[in-house]
Amino acid sequence: MQELQVKVTQAQVEIIDREKFEQNINDVVAKYKNYTVTAATIKEDKQVLADLRKLKKQISDERIKIKRELSQSADEFDKYIKDTSEPMDKVIDKIATDVKAFEEHQKAVRLDTVKSYLANKAAEYMLDPRLFDEKALEYIKASDFMADGVTLKKVTMKSLEDMVTFEYQKQQEHEKEKAAISGQCAEYGMTDQPYIRMLQSMSLADVMQQIMSDYLFEQEKQKMRQAEAEREQLLAEQQAKQQAQAQKSTEPPKVDPETGEILDGGQLSQNEPDTLRGAENEPKRYTQKMTLEVYFANTAEKDLFKAGLSELGFEHKQNYQVSGYQRIEPVTQEQLNELCGW
């Protein structure tokens, strides 16, 4: 194959009277570098500017002309080489395309070989072979195969087998984690699926901690709901008793048919057991006391509280007293908690 050989003759550019040209430039600069434009000489000033620009243009035009003449031979040479070598460029492009197509085909063959091997190994562990599609692309280099280009090297097969084994172990561990979560949720009566999904971004320990936190939170909510229900039930019972007492006060007194004794007002019938009569006659002895600070939303709530105490056997100035009763500025529950340190 004949290589290109070229003989180049360096072009010579000679500036006639170089020193005189340089001196003329220096003279012009020296003459006009401190030039001052005035209103009185503006017409002459414009002419000076035009003359200087004309001189500059002549120098620039000459430079461009010489440069074009110098580059003409280079342009002609460049065009000649491109035109002459164009058929060879087409041959190169065709061969390059064929080589690329062949290499792509070889890669496809090697990829099929790797996927087939992985599919067989995955079947042994009952795994979905599609799990390894992305990783398979890392083992299709020519260096992963024997000289024939289609037979896997032993070291490559070992790496692929380790990959499948690792995935199997990972899934087994995942199943154990899921079982642990399901067992914990079953113990607490909770749904396990939300927590199993958390394994995608959290460790088992963190998920179990989350389950415990959610369980305790739910327990607190249940206690609060139960306490609220009990409070509402107690209020309902107290209101029912108050209504019964109000209704009872409007009814005629009940009389013991045998003795004619009035039974209202806490009086006991003569038919009550003697033990109760004896206990009533004995003076009551108190052995404990406490101070209770209660906050009411309104007078009705205060009266309801007093009525509840009465129902429980506590009467004002009999076995409890009130001191320090006062009206206060309205406070919210949050403010009351902060005030009392709850």
State residue 51's pLDDT score. Answer: 93
Residue 328 domain flag: no
Would you state the pLDDT for residue 178?
Answer: 93
State the DSSP code for 200. Answer: G
User: What span, in angstroms and rounded, lies between the C-alpha atoms of 35 and 298?
Assistant: 100
Q: Which domain holds residue 112?
A: 38-152
Q: Which pLDDT belongs to residue 339?
A: 81
**Local structure of 152: helix, strand or coil:** strand
Return the HEC string of 72-140: HHHHHHHHHHHHHHHHHHHHHHHHHHHHHHHHHHHHHHHHHHHHHHHHHHHHHCCCCHHHHHHHHHHHC
Task: Establish if 298 belongs to a structural domain.
Answer: yes
Q: Which of 152, 178, 212 is the last residue of a domain?
A: 152
**What is the domain count for the chain?**
2
Cα 43–chain centre separation: 75
d(CA 254, CA 189): 55
User: What element of type H or E holds 271?
Assistant: none
Confirm whether 127 is domain-assigned. Answer: yes
Residue 278 lies in a domain: no
Looking at residue 162, what is its pLDDT?
Answer: 96
Which domain-ending residue is among 137, 152, 167?
A: 152
The SS3 call for residue 255 is strand
Domain-located, residue 71: yes
Give a yes or no: residue 258 inside a domain: no
Predicted confidence at residue 280, as pLDDT, reads: 54
For 203-238, the pLDDT digits (tens) are: 999 999 999 999 999 999 989 999 999 999 999 988
- List pLDDT tens digits, range 265-323: 444 444 444 554 555 566 778 788 888 888 888 888 888 888 888 888 888 888 888 87
- The residue among 152, 178, 195 that closes a domain is 152
136 close to 107: Cβ distance less than 8 angstroms: no
DSSP-derived secondary structure letter, 17: T
Encoded amino acid at 70, one letter: L
User: How many Cβ atoms from other residues are within 10 Å of residue 36's Cβ?
Assistant: 6
Could you tell me the CA-to-CA distances from 31 to 49, 56, 159, 247 in Å, in that order? 13, 15, 85, 128
Rounded to the nearest integer, the mean pLDDT of the chain is 86
Closest by CA position to 324, among listed 294, 304, 297? 294
173, part of any domain:
no
145 phi, psi to nearest 5 deg: -120, 165
| 123 domain residue, yes or no | yes
pLDDT tens, per residue, the chain with 342 residues: 667 777 777 778 888 898 999 999 999 999 999 999 999 999 999 999 999 999 999 999 999 998 888 888 888 888 888 888 888 888 889 999 999 999 999 999 999 999 999 999 999 999 999 999 999 999 999 999 999 988 999 999 999 999 999 999 999 999 999 999 999 999 999 999 999 999 989 999 999 999 999 999 999 998 999 999 999 999 998 888 888 877 766 666 665 554 455 555 444 444 444 554 555 566 778 788 888 888 888 888 888 888 888 888 888 888 888 877 788 888 888 888 888 878
Taking phi first (over 0 means left), then psi (-120 to 50 degrees means alpha), and beta for anything else, what does residue 331 get? beta
